[in-house]
Structure 1
């Protein structure tokens, strides 16, 4: 078979296997790296002997370098400086103090438990100070956690990767040039970091300014490719000036482009995200296929104890020290301490170092690569697969976050705010109308008189720590735009907008969509009028197991007739806004409005509610208006 076709076939197999692994990860809701490792090893020389990455020769090193550059640029592009400000001190400590703790703690564990020589022990520790963004990102998508925790983990994963790579190169240089002293070590470390930061800032600014000029002669797709060329150009220039400074450069370039708020940012992030997915898939398959399983088993139990020490002693100690004085509670700290999986940078740099050590006649290169891959396997499998359970146990999943930001101090919006507040959940009302805001303040609700399109307003409202965003002004199209904006910028766990079913506005392209609030056959504006005029009755009912089908039919009939508007449904110990496509379940408690068209005078004479606002002292005082059952119908 022709040699060039053989190499082409190797790449084709790697791409096909990598995408298959990602599909399996998405299907079974586990980190894709688990299947990437399994499939990669299965295709390698210790498995089916189909994939031979070593046949690529120096091409493997080139592929690794260019793909890692894209991965880290995409990581920097996804970093939100506003979010980082909330965890800046902890993040700074993790990248500095935490790196030192892991370096020295990991090296001692590798030497005393794994019986590695001090030189290789330090080299191993320098490779595992990083937490891979290629693992953290998909993991946090499958295990949505508290925003503050997610920001800290994402920031650590992206920023510490280039720091770890530079540190590892400096340690390797020290091993290869044993006459180098402490001054040479520090000089190499800061020189690489400084060059990478300078090139990244300049290159990122140039890319951002180029995109902001709105060059009409460039198509949208071509702009993405221009950015790709720019990223590789930044990486190449930085590497040419000083080896291994390119990783820091591409991360800083991504951060700068994001900070400049370029018009095509969202499309650019989507394109780079797809390239990152492809790059991670190919790299892990190739590197895992090149791994010798025999070398992993040859490490013995000492190496297993080394990894366990890294996971359960060194990582928690680092997190505890680095988050002293932060606003993180003990649950958040414990989850961050638990989640520290290693990723592509550790694997790729370890593979390259094994080759360099072998070329220089230094033994232990295969053992170094083996223990790094053992670390990746154990951290990904143990921490990655258990992260969802741990987050639920610590009550950190975003689905369990309570509270609401309600845009629109309409009569209905105020009523919803009261219900949330009386349930003990935090509520913030936002509106531009001074009169509407005053009425909400009369109901003892926290109010912000401003536009919900302003990101700083939503941030001050605490949207990042509240579970629900609801836009319920009288204008359905405005509600949808507000909800889409909030979703794109802050990703709240639950996003609702009151808009008509025949709305032509497009829903977001990402998977988490804006939910249409309420099951209503008539406009929300009409219901606001009903509430303002006192033509409603607030009730709640529990859907019983017995007669559930009949209750459900009766409920739907009242909704279709425009006589009933379900507002909230109790799930567990929290209230959630009713969706337009809500599927009812037995045992749920529903809070709703009934249209009561009787004139106000007649209602007063009959002892009904005369106030235009339902001022309720306690949620338990909401009138029990049970839906029909076969027995009482």
Structure 2
């Protein structure tokens, strides 16, 4: 039974992993296609939230329609309504019971992140399977209810290590697509391919643009972003999992045309992913809704030399953002005319797994070596680009810093106290064309490429300069 209808059960687990965002920002970041396209921040946020919400809502709607179709062919209206409501009630009750179970486990047991993630997956699959065993195809409703409820319960932090979480989801999705694709034969596509391609044309050219137009009407979303929203709606694993489950059940019930649901859905998924995957970047480029390729570094720290580094990087054409914890440092950053990140920025990124949206590089430059090390170990999982930290005075300095295991910024010997000392002695940060070479006594801190990408010097050595690069250098200290 699990092999015949099982993709749906595991699929509910995937739906639950996506539905768990609830009222919070998605934890795993944008999907690969959006990472490749790199739309503007607000546009990406709209599409990520739509993808997070439409999968569970569409799955629930599909389950309700499925039970309505099954009931309509066998009973009168009163019996149909009773069966329909009964199926919804079983799913809601299972979701409530599963939510209570997981809440008790996560709240009262001491579980590490990997074990807690395994418990979440085991609980949702068990509850979904139990609901399906009691009444067919009610597990989807239970799984989605669990995800939405747990994500919005106060005082409950949902532990999920990003690397483990993404690996688990990718593995499940890969297995599902392989198993579902194996059930679609060339023979089953013979009389379905052309009508399905017509459906794809209608979805891509009519339905999606109309939905985008209506949903963004009377909003402040610019016209070009509306057009791109109207050209981005690839179908995925939820559609495949629900089609696999529902078509088998409808065919067993004798519903006409049920055997065509899965092949048609398979064609729609392949065609829409192909269309949007090949055209998303040209469309975004033509509409002018892609983010700039230029780096947007976040400098964490408020010492005078850090502020001067921020001003130098801004002079090199980068969109610099700064953050500091002390009020005096935050005032100095503001007085220097640099953009100051909100005070809760790092707390949100480290506490609830929110991504630092739009940030391409993080430079941890505070005078607290252990803070830099702890922030490095946390932020490297929530930032798409590189995260760098200053070197402590010695390799054994600090409680955490010696064990962070990263290449520190800048050359050997140019650690935190040395930088502060040299700056206090009169050294300054300057910009020079990299093609002119590094003057004697100067140290390379960064290279800014002609396209605005930032390359940092580390303990392994400075980056190799190229034509058109701008070097960010630290001058020698002034002679006494």
TM-score by length of 2: 0.79
Distance 1:181 1:485, change over 3 A: farther
**Any conservation in 1 of the 2:297–2:359 contact (CA below 8 Å)?**
yes
What is the Cα deviation at residue 375 of structure 1?
Answer: 0.4
| Corresponding residue number in structure 2 for 1:160 | 54
Distance 1:60 1:262, change over 3 A: same
Give the Cα separation in 2 of the matches to 1:419 and 1:201.
Answer: 55
Please, which of 128, 132, 143 is the counterpart of residue 235 of structure 1?
Answer: 128
| Corresponding residue number in structure 2 for 1:207 | 102
Distance 1:285 1:595, change over 3 A: same
Per the alignment, in what secondary structure is the counterpart of residue 391 of structure 2? coil
What is the Cα deviation at residue 307 of structure 1?
Answer: 0.6
What is the Cα deviation at residue 481 of structure 1?
Answer: 2.3
| Corresponding residue number in structure 2 for 1:107 | none
CA distances 1:425-482 after superposition (whole Å, capped 9, x unpaired): 55443223344334333323344695764228999xx942444432211334422322
Give the Cα separation in 2 of the matches to 1:449 and 1:166.
Answer: 38
Distance 1:182 1:539, change over 3 A: farther
Give the Cα separation in 1 of the matches to 2:148 and 2:367.
Answer: 39
Give the Cα separation in 2 of the matches to 1:286 and 1:457.
Answer: 37
Give the Cα separation in 2 of the matches to 1:255 and 1:169.
Answer: 17
Distance 1:223 1:474, change over 3 A: closer
| Corresponding residue number in structure 1 for 2:139 | 246
**Any conservation in 1 of the 2:95–2:142 contact (CA below 8 Å)?**
yes
Higher helix share: 1
What is the root-mean-square deviation of aligned Cα atoms in Å?
A: 4.2
| Corresponding residue number in structure 1 for 2:159 | 265
**Any conservation in 1 of the 2:362–2:387 contact (CA below 8 Å)?**
yes
**Any conservation in 2 of the 1:74–1:273 contact (CA below 8 Å)?**
no
What is the Cα deviation at residue 71 of structure 1?
Answer: 1.4
Per the alignment, in what secondary structure is the counterpart of residue 338 of structure 1? coil
What is the Cα deviation at residue 341 of structure 1?
Answer: 1.7
Q: In the alignment, does 2:226 pair up with 1:338?
A: no
What is the Cα deviation at residue 230 of structure 1?
Answer: 1.6
| Corresponding residue number in structure 2 for 1:122 | none
Distance 1:211 1:144, change over 3 A: farther
**Any conservation in 2 of the 1:469–1:492 contact (CA below 8 Å)?**
no
What is the Cα deviation at residue 247 of structure 1?
Answer: 1.7
Structure 1: gaps (5+ residues): 1-57, 86-132, 508-513, 545-550, 600-633
**Any conservation in 1 of the 2:364–2:389 contact (CA below 8 Å)?**
yes
Please, which of 557, 564, 570 is the counterpart of residue 449 of structure 2?
Answer: 570
| Corresponding residue number in structure 1 for 2:467 | 586
| Corresponding residue number in structure 2 for 1:414 | 307
**Any conservation in 2 of the 1:467–1:493 contact (CA below 8 Å)?**
yes
**Any conservation in 2 of the 1:192–1:245 contact (CA below 8 Å)?**
yes
**Any conservation in 1 of the 2:302–2:366 contact (CA below 8 Å)?**
yes
Structure 2: gaps (5+ residues): 396-400
| Corresponding residue number in structure 1 for 2:398 | none
**Any conservation in 1 of the 2:116–2:160 contact (CA below 8 Å)?**
no
Give the Cα separation in 2 of the matches to 1:399 and 1:477.
Answer: 33
Give the Cα separation in 2 of the matches to 1:159 and 1:390.
Answer: 24
Q: In the alignment, does 2:386 pair up with 1:498?
A: no
Give the Cα separation in 2 of the matches to 1:205 and 1:543.
Answer: 64
My pick for the range that moved more, 351-360 or 180-189, is: 180-189
What is the Cα deviation at residue 285 of structure 1?
Answer: 1.8
What is the Cα deviation at residue 519 of structure 1?
Answer: 4.0
Distance 1:178 1:70, change over 3 A: closer
**Any conservation in 2 of the 1:471–1:479 contact (CA below 8 Å)?**
yes
**Any conservation in 1 of the 2:5–2:248 contact (CA below 8 Å)?**
no
**Any conservation in 2 of the 1:174–1:180 contact (CA below 8 Å)?**
no
Give the Cα separation in 2 of the matches to 1:150 and 1:201.
Answer: 32
| Corresponding residue number in structure 2 for 1:27 | none
CA distances 1:148-192 after superposition (whole Å, capped 9, x unpaired): 444443443343233323333443444441588999999887876
Give the Cα separation in 1 of the matches to 2:385 and 2:292.
Answer: 6
| Corresponding residue number in structure 2 for 1:595 | 476
Give the Cα separation in 2 of the matches to 1:313 and 1:455.
Answer: 40
Q: Which has the larger radius of gyration?
A: 1
What is the Cα deviation at residue 59 of structure 1?
Answer: 3.7
Please, which of 419, 423, 427 is the counterpart of residue 527 of structure 1?
Answer: 419
TM-score by length of 1: 0.62
CA distances 1:353-379 after superposition (whole Å, capped 9, x unpaired): 433443344432333332211101101
| Corresponding residue number in structure 1 for 2:258 | 365
Give the Cα separation in 2 of the matches to 1:414 and 1:213.
Answer: 45
Give the Cα separation in 1 of the matches to 2:248 and 2:132.
Answer: 19
Distance 1:349 1:441, change over 3 A: closer
Give the Cα separation in 2 of the matches to 1:194 and 1:360.
Answer: 22
**Any conservation in 1 of the 2:22–2:147 contact (CA below 8 Å)?**
no
Distance 1:311 1:516, change over 3 A: farther
**Any conservation in 2 of the 1:543–1:585 contact (CA below 8 Å)?**
yes
